[in-house]
Amino acid sequence: MISSREDVTRMILATKVSKGLRWEVVAAELGLSKEWTTAACLGQMTFNKEQAETIGRLFELSDEAIAWLQIVPHKGDGGIPTDPLLYRLYEIVSVYGGAMKELIHEEFGDGIMSAIDFSLDIQREENPNGDRVNMVMSGKFLPYKSY
């Protein structure tokens, strides 16, 4: 009996390691970005039927698990991360968040950058002083309006 999406995520991770799969390959099978695909495999996004079946085939999942991949999951990891890579992302918000807020408001007025109508792209940026991680976030600006 599978009673949560987390159960399926654990199956995916176990199979990924034992079969040595790469996220890029999984994404190519789906014909989608590696960013959305990985987030979805980690239980943060919802697959449609065809996508779920592809994932099921790659990770050798049962029909029950494939059904769960099509259910909207409970998303988000709470709290402040302790993993160093994740903490650096949190720290960027902690140190630069005020500036991001000021500059988005200066440019657009009152509102937010959507985290739903949003896409992410991560690339290696070659650099003679040491390669860099380049992350591009694009989110629709949503204005507050008076009524």
Q: Is 114 a catalytic residue?
A: yes
Q: Is 68 helix (H, G, I), strand (E, B) or coil?
A: helix
Among 29, 42, 53, 54, binds a second copy (CB under 8 A): 42
Q: Which residue number, 57 or 87, has a Cβ lying nearer to a second copy?
A: 87
Please report whether residue 124 would count as binding a second copy according to CB under 8 A. Answer: yes
Please report whether residue 57 would count as binding a second copy according to CB under 8 A. Answer: no
Please report whether residue 118 would count as binding a second copy according to CB under 8 A. Answer: yes
Burial class (CB in 10 A: 0-12, 13-18, 19+), 55: buried
Please report whether residue 13 would count as binding a second copy according to CB under 8 A. Answer: yes
Distances from the Cα of 100 to the Cα of 72, 83, 89, 107, angstroms: 30, 24, 14, 11
Q: Which residue number, 49 or 57, has a Cβ lying nearer to a second copy?
A: 49
Distances from the Cα of 130 to the Cα of 87, 88, 121, 122, 135, angstroms: 21, 18, 20, 17, 16
Query: If binding means CB under 8 A, how many residues of this protein chain bind a second copy?
Result: 103
Q: Is 62 helix (H, G, I), strand (E, B) or coil?
A: coil
CB of residue 66 to a second copy, shortest distance in Å: 10
Please report whether residue 28 would count as binding a second copy according to CB under 8 A. Answer: no
Please report whether residue 68 would count as binding a second copy according to CB under 8 A. Answer: yes
Please report whether residue 4 would count as binding a second copy according to CB under 8 A. Answer: yes
Tokens of 6: 């987390």
Give the catalytic positions in this structure. Answer: 88, 91, 114
